[in-house]
Amino acid sequence: MKTTTWTNVPQCPNKMESLIVRPVLLSSQTVETLDTGKPFLQSLFIDLDGSIKTLRYYAGWSDKIHGKSLRVGDFMSITKHEPVGVCGAIIPWNFPLLMFMWKIAPALSCGNTVVVKPAEQTPLTALHMGSLIKEAGFPAGVVNIVPGFGPTAGAAIANHMDIDKVAFTGSTETGQLIQTAAAKSNLKRVTLELGGKNPCIVFADCDLQLAVEDTQTGAFYNQGQCCTAASRVFVEESIHDQFVRLSIENAKKIVVGDPLDPLTSHGPQIDQQQFDKIMDLIESGKKEGARLEYGGTPVSNKSLFIQPTIFSGVKDHMRIAKEEIFGPVQCIFSFQSQEEAIRRANSSRYGLVSAIFTSSMDRALSVSAALETGTVWINCYNSLHAQTPFGGYKMSGIGRELGEYALAEYTEVKAVTLKLKEAV
């Protein structure tokens, strides 16, 4: 495949910034697609672009992390923000490049060292980044990459007495194991970004075509393998049938095929285990009475491709309404009142993200205040930025990544107080 070269990128002596301008741009997107099966253009314009923006953002913070001075009577206190120390980063298989950057960028900007364990399904991206980090001139031992399985390499990081903090992105069940291990070892700090069963509330006064496109992109992006997947779409009853019809029409435009083909917008699932789990949940939806409106079958008998799938008539008690599918399955519900929509949206153990589609800003702001999620998107979806904190309520996690808020996860605050001499 023809490589891409970038020009007019400013040089910077900062090691993090220098990583951006080196050959990471030549092949990282191809490695990411080979590693995960996601469409090439998504690897290029979402994952690589997001990684560059994250590096640049935190490179800018590296000389701006400071404390405060406090006069307290006859005393003067200053606060200092010091590195936590050695940070373990356990990253998932769905966004191996982007999650690598989300972990190392804030950790390094605060002066820490990092031990990264990539997911066993997708080690190539992290290893490729390791070679580029070395070429960019990072000192030996600052970034360490340890491929391995969760029960061995991951558990070693969570239990190690010389690791001061662990940041994990993955399932809620694994997050609970990591928090337990951290507590039983040295009470290391823990940041957890876990699962989601994310509600979207579509009101009758919305821009209907926008709501159809954004919720469906949210449901099917990266083959549905996203913790932010738009997996519960609540549509006001008066527009429900029209919403379903337009969603079916939109799904028919999705191109399933070779991830390295620029025309492809939908690739394979990550592995056979995930494929089987998704198909089992699709079958459960059929058996429990949801209406299969589109898809629901493998593309062929010998592949890991699953057709984008739409269910309507979904009820809150069904497995597809409660369990994180992590696959290309859109579940559409109907509701009658705003109060009902909020109550049902919040009736989940998860609280990662949510979305509201309406033309009324008063309604959008009041509903956003009532939703129990770490992120609320209004008339948009998957709008993630390096400057904006990301994390969940309830069993969707602990702590925040991205933005200035992430810096607090990678620093210790020290207070130094001195007694002032009496004025003569």
**Strand partners for 419:** 75
Cβ atoms of 297 and 307 within 8 Å: the answer is yes
> In terms of DSSP bridges, do strands 86-90 and 165-169 run parallel, antiparallel, or are they unpaired?
parallel
Residue whose structure tokens are 């309406």: 358
Would you call 295 helix, strand, or coil by DSSP? coil
Q: Where are the alpha helices (DSSP H) in 288-331?
A: 319-322
Residues with Cβ within 8 Å of 301's Cβ and at least 6 positions away in sequence, in order, are: none
**Strand partners for 416:** 78
For helices 96-109 and 124-136, angle between their N-to-C axes, nearest 10 degrees: 40
Q: For the chain, first and last CA: distance in Å?
A: 77
Measured CA to CA, the distance from residue 275 to residue 325 in angstroms comes to 10
Other CB atoms within 10 Å distance of the CB of residue 105: 28
Q: Any catalytic annotation for residue 17?
A: no
- Please choose, from the candidates 94, 117, 130, 10, the residue with its C-alpha nearest in 3D space to the C-alpha of residue 59: 10
Residue 171's alpha-carbon distances to 94, 180, 219, 341, in angstroms, are 12, 14, 18, 26
Residue 381's alpha-carbon distances to 134, 233, 289, 361, 421, in angstroms, are 36, 12, 28, 16, 58
Q: Where are the alpha helices (DSSP H) in 346-414?
A: 361-370
- Chain-centroid distance, C-alpha 102: 9
Given 17, 32, 193, 293, the catalytic residue: 193
Cβ atoms of 357 and 202 within 8 Å: the answer is yes
Work out the burial of residue 260: count CB atoms within 10 Å of its CB; fewer than 13 is exposed, 13-18 middle, 19 or more buried. Answer: middle
> In terms of DSSP bridges, do strands 309-312 and 353-357 run parallel, antiparallel, or are they unpaired?
unpaired
Tokens encoding 253: 């435009």
Sign of CA dihedral 200, 313, 211, 293: positive
Q: Where are the alpha helices (DSSP H) in 71-139?
A: 96-109, 124-136
Cβ atoms of 370 and 167 within 8 Å: the answer is no
- Catalytic site residues? 193
